Structure 1
């Protein structure tokens, strides 16, 4: 990084990231991605111009530089979605830097991201979601670990939690009531209902778990009592998927998608589902309407007397 960026540019990058954390509430993973994307961009400029990129050279970036950078990304096989994400990070940095340093960032901000097809969520059927929970519990060698895995997976499907949100729960969240306050991406808080089946699954886990809950300790423990690694839940879900003959898309995150899609299919309001999922933008939640439309068309074609 030091070879590609001058101390002044490095300080500017860190100040921008600090502001994104403080004012924008950006999550640590997001900030890491921002830093990587901007550093990679400046490293490209360093190689492209054969000189270190300080603040003055960064202010002189033109349209040919931007086109050359994006052409290199495409040549490296970077997907259009990832190119768009990288460009978004660079634009965000340049908006801040241009205001701070007093230059015109038109060449950067006017660059268009490549078009890409947004991937629609692939939900599981209701039966498949229930079967995964059952198999996850049954396949564990130790009873308390099976109960733990089943409780986590039940929260993903029953409450629409991200895996990081479920594993972020602590003993201080107990006892679970009818609702749960979740802190999601960007520090955004939301209230989610907790179904009786989820409370029951957690009660079973707590009765069997050899590590008593502590207010500041993770609710879900690893085999040795530390925080449960999300990779463990991914592994047990993958094993259950293979046993049930489900597609590779049957991941822990697919259970969250299934939660939303099944609510929508049952007549749930889109804005209410947006709140339950913790989506900052309604457009993110609207992807589920496309999934539901596919289901509705299949039902229509299979059952309407004039459809054939």
Structure 2
């Protein structure tokens, strides 16, 4: 292979990799923050350490191999460093190809950029993604309805059909967050499918009566494949209507529509001030889960997988992050850990609205995180500038949201299985619990148990409104009663 055919798109402007394999590996090691390929001899080991005793202490695996072999190779594979005799090691070119393939979103081959974009489009949603579900023709949305504004002077979007208008809406309102974009595309596809069944459309042709009928259809009960009657939750209906209303309102403001048929469509939704979190695990259940996670690995779980599971549990349990906030975001090298002079850790994540947030981690959770790093062949504390995913899959790549969720659910399942038979209520709660229950528990610990000031708790949780943070105080009447009793003491 020719490394100079590849570009690093993680810097601006994109930079071409060096032409030789050795120089390219050195560049990637610097860019990614960890060693990729190093050839060890006893002479090289002595050169880097003051004495053999120091060499044995700092590089024990390398030292042991060099006692029996002339040369050892230390290389990066599947998220960790490995050391083997030279005869058993892959070539430097093979390691380079693996790393480039693993980080293919950042390092792109110039000749295949277009093909990579096409292949990646099947799994990554972009503002230009196809909006239509199966069975809906492309010409259905590539039209302008009766409410589309044909006057170029007032139509500031400068487009003539719904396809282009939808793309501009998604770029303007949803491209800042892949999660928001995915939600908007899902809801617009659902509306397109309903319009096709009702022989309506395109979007710019829908009347207020049409959209009210759509709202009624969302709320109506239906049957699933098993024949069971299902009804959408109020929250899911609210999200669907909010996405549709947002698009029509934006189209009207920008002049693409002459009227807004969705005005007031989402009215009557539950006000944010009345939102109250209800999915909590009792303190005894959380303590039981913590004890299970801190214990030995089950016999059917490899030690490396158990170390990773403990680390994932620790981050969700003691950082209060959302599920997607621990998914690796290569373009920003987030989430990442920053270590201060006192060896205290701070977790940096990207929250809703693409907002950065720093969450100090308590000292009690650091042993499990450091143990996981040691299993991966990394130093206990992340060095400055390290750009590695916090969590790796067994194949050396990163875990997505579903993989992270499954690991937390595995801890809940193991904790439920280790409960005595009489604890049926706690077992049922653990079987329903998810990562967001841990976030609720983290928030309740701050607001209710330790009475952390609401602005501080809001910053730690990444809430857009302090009213959301204050809602946790309403989950405990004991605290509210204490405030009232202290304000109006008994004078008798």
Q: Which TM-score band (shorter chain)?
A: 0.7 to 0.9
Q: Which residue of 1 aligns with 2:216?
A: 71
Counting only pairs closer than 5 Å after superposition, residues 67-106 of structure 1 correspond to structure 2 as 67-75=212-220, 76=222, 77-101=231-255, 103-106=257-260
**Aligned pairs for 1:197-276 within 5 A:** 197-209=364-376, 215-228=386-399, 229-243=403-417, 244=419, 245-246=426-427, 247=429, 248-265=431-448, 266-276=450-460
Q: What TM-score, normalized to structure 2?
A: 0.53
Could you tell me how far apart the structure 2 residues matched to 1:294 and 1:123 are? 16
Any conservation in 1 of the 2:458–2:466 contact (CA below 8 Å)?
yes
In the TM superposition, what is the alpha-carbon distance from 1:129 to its structure 2 partner? 2.2
Task: Report the equivalent of 1:180.
Answer: 347
- 1:288 maps to 2:438: no
C-alpha separation in 2, matches of 1:273 and 1:199: 21
- Per-residue CA deviation, residues 246-290 of structure 1 (Å, 9 max, x unaligned), is 413432221121111011121111121111011112232222112
Counterpart residue number, 1:39: 189
- CA positional deviation for 1:17: 0.5
Q: What is the match of residue 141 of structure 2?
A: 5
User: How do 1:137-152 and structure 2 match up within 5 A?
Assistant: 137=294, 138-140=296-298, 141-152=301-312
Q: Distance in 2 between matches of 1:203 and 1:20?
A: 40
**How many Å separate the matches in 1 of 2:398 and 2:259?**
45
Q: What's the CA shift for 1:106?
A: 4.5
Q: Which has the higher contact order (CA 8 A, sep 6+)?
A: 1
Give ranges in structure 1 of 5+ residues lacking alignment: 301-308
| Alpha-carbon RMSD | 3.1
Task: Output the CA distance in 1 between the equivalents of 2:200 and 2:334.
Answer: 53
Q: Which has the higher strand share?
A: 2
Provide the C-alpha distance between the structure 2 equivalents of 1:240 and 1:39, rounded to a whole number of angstroms: 38
- Preserved contact between residue 237 and residue 252 of structure 1 (Cα < 8 Å): no
CA distance in 1, matches of 2:406, 2:240: 30
Distance 2:218 2:451 in 1: 43
Cα pair 1:121 1:287 within 8 Å, conserved: no
Contact 2:162 2:203 in 1 (8 A): yes
Further displaced range: 213-222 or 202-211:
213-222
Q: 1:24-73: CA deviations, max 9, x gaps?
A: x3x2122111122123224433443x354164x24xx22x2122111211
Larger Rg belongs to? 2
Whether the 8 Å contact between 1:241 and 1:250 is mirrored in structure 2 is no
5 Å-filtered alignment, 1:114-193, equals: 115=269, 118=275, 120-137=277-294, 138-140=296-298, 141-168=301-328, 173-174=336-337, 176-177=339-340, 178=344, 179-193=346-360
Instruction: Give the gaps of 5 or more residues in structure 2.
Output: 1-131, 144-160, 223-230, 420-425, 485-492
C-alpha distance in structure 2 between counterparts of 1:157 and 1:128, whole Å: 13
Q: 1:239 to 1:94 in 2, by over 3 A?
A: same
Moved more, 210-219 or 255-264: 210-219
- Bigger proportion of residues as helix: 1
